[in-house]
Amino acid sequence: MNQPLLKEARLEVVAPPVPMGVGPTLRSLREARGLSPGEVSARLKFTSRQLDALETEQWDRLPSGVSLRGFVKNYARYLEADVEALLSMLDNQVGTTAAKTVPVTHAGSLGPADLPIHGEPVHRPWGWLLIILVLLFVAGFYAIERGWIPDSWLIFDWLKSLKK
């Protein structure tokens, strides 16, 4: 009578395979949330081709550098995932995608030779402003000639002479 009455049932839980890499991780997070690629594409304003290239890790079909980093960052934020962990995974897979900083030792290190002689050209819309003003004057004189403007608004006599 030393035998147990019920045999112990051993339940073996098979864990799903852990995704390796940024793309499969993002895909599994998206699928866990029940989102379709079309929904994510519409929400993040990325094409479905870009989304598919990221999830399948086809790096040659994606922008590189800071653009790729921003793409992964936005996707991770949308999925409410750990952004920094995914970015470090991306850096390990693709290489450093962070923006490069320019070291400046101190403010006095810049000399006159480092500054441009001429500043960047400023493009002012003077041409458009002139065209708009001419059109307003023409419309005003047309309105006066047609009699659409009341006499009380015409303060100069020569404007009243234009009115028929």
One-character DSSP codes across 62-113: S--THHHHHHHHHHHHHTT--HHHHHHHHHHHH---SPPPPP---GGG--GG
Q: What is the DSSP letter of 154?
A: -
Task: Find the mean pLDDT for residues 148-158.
Answer: 85
Structure tokens at 155: 């303060």
Find out whether 89 and 25 touch, Cβ atoms under 8 Å.
yes
Structure tokens at 38: 């079309």
CATH no. of 22-94: 1.10.260.40
pLDDT at 155: 84
List all residues 6 or more positions away from 83 whose beta carbon is below 8 Å from its beta carbon.
73, 76, 77
Residue 93, Cβ neighbours under 10 Å: how many? 14
Structure tokens at 108: 């006095």
Against a cut of 0.75, is the pTM above it? no
Who has greater pLDDT, 86 or 109? 86
Write out the residue limits of the CATH 1.10.260.40 domain(s) in the chain: 22-94
